[in-house]
Amino acid sequence: MELTEQLLQECVAARKHCALLNHPNRGVIEIRGEDRVNFLHNILSNDIKSLAPGKGAPACFLNAQAKIIAYTNVLYFSEYLWLALDYVLKDKLIESLNKLIIMERVELIDRSDELKLISIHGPKAKTIVEIVLDQEAPEELLSHQTVTRESIRVTAIRINLTGEIGYGLLAPKNAAGELQQKLIQHGMPLGLKEIQTQAFEILRIEAGIPRYGIDFDESHIPLEAGLEKAVSFSKGCFPGQEILARLDSRGGVSKKLLGLVLKGEVAPKKNDRITKDNVEIGSITSSVFSPTLKKTIAMGYLNKEYWKVGSALTVETEGQKIPAHVTSLPFYAAISSRT
């Protein structure tokens, strides 16, 4: 990805002020019925019963081998739950969940094509959301609230997709344009800037946040992909639980997603080899030249012997052998984003 002046300005806006992204389609599955909580608690990897209205948690839907079929954020409302996930995963997850409904009183409703997601990120994000919604914005990750302002019904969700304070705003598609204009109107005096998906990808990698289909997929388990927060080891059985518990008690996985800092400005490509003494020990998933850190960074899977921070390695890309060293994730995180 070429770091143009426009992309640089968009990344700077996100780090210093606020950035707005108009997302492509977002998957939203609504779960209703009196057995909805027990049903999801029994099949997802995290503790759903412990949630309360207005709270949320990340979770995985796993197969029996603990491989990730889908990664989702569970949002708990008083009368239903939402599963918010990548649009490309929603049909597969709906089909899988429907197969598991036997006697449970559960109804699945696909809201994906009814709702539009707009997100804003940066030090001024909370202020802008509170001005537009005329209400205090949620602070805990994945906490959320639904308000109606000037006939627009908006669900505001506290998120962290860039290493900064962030909010995802879900609104009916026919009202999303008006909501976006309000955000821009009130945000521009505070430095808000609309950004492209390429800038958002740079910010995501700087924050060390793995993305489905790029950094993990159905060939990985949560403990390899850095998704430990999506797993409860105390709630009891769910698909894949025995394998995860066994790994947790026996020293963990043999490979996992880690950060790399590379010499120079050449960003390697997905699946490029990571080597030590000409022996392959891993592969790249995401990489970029970071305008925030002024260095080339990458995420990739490494064999366990090479996890130590500072370990010297080599990344092979397009005939070049680039020196690199291991670092912990995230590469960048604003203090305020850790809440």
Rounded average pLDDT over 90-115:
97
Instruction: Kindly report, residue by residue over 259-295, the tens digit of the pLDDT.
Output: 999 999 999 999 999 999 999 999 999 999 999 999 9
Instruction: Kindly report, residue by residue over 209-263, the tens digit of the pLDDT.
Output: 999 999 999 999 999 999 999 999 999 899 999 999 999 888 889 999 999 999 9
What distances in angstroms separate CA 311 from CA 174, 252, 261, one per listed residue? 52, 20, 11
Residue 250: the pLDDT is 86
> What average pLDDT does the structure give for the chain?
95
Question: pTM for the complete prediction?
Answer: 0.94
Rounded average pLDDT over 107-123:
97
Extract the tokens encoding 322.
Answer: 């680039």
C-alpha to C-alpha distance for 302 and 321, rounded to whole angstroms = 17
Q: Would 1-25+114-206+254-339 and 26-110 be classified into the same CATH topology?
A: no
Residue 335: the pLDDT is 52
C-alpha to C-alpha distance for 290 and 339, rounded to whole angstroms = 24
Domain spanning 26-110: CATH superfamily: Aminomethyltransferase beta-barrel domains (3.30.70.1400)
Rounded average pLDDT over 151-159:
96
Residue 333: the pLDDT is 86
| Peptide bond between residue 330 and the one before it cis (omega within 30 degrees of 0) | yes
Locate the domains of the chain by residue range: 1-25+114-206+254-339, 26-110
- The matching CATH number, chosen from 3.40.50.150, 3.40.50.1400, 3.30.1360.120, 1.10.1130.10, for 1-25+114-206+254-339 is 3.30.1360.120
Query: Phi/psi of residue 284, each to 5°?
Result: -80, 145
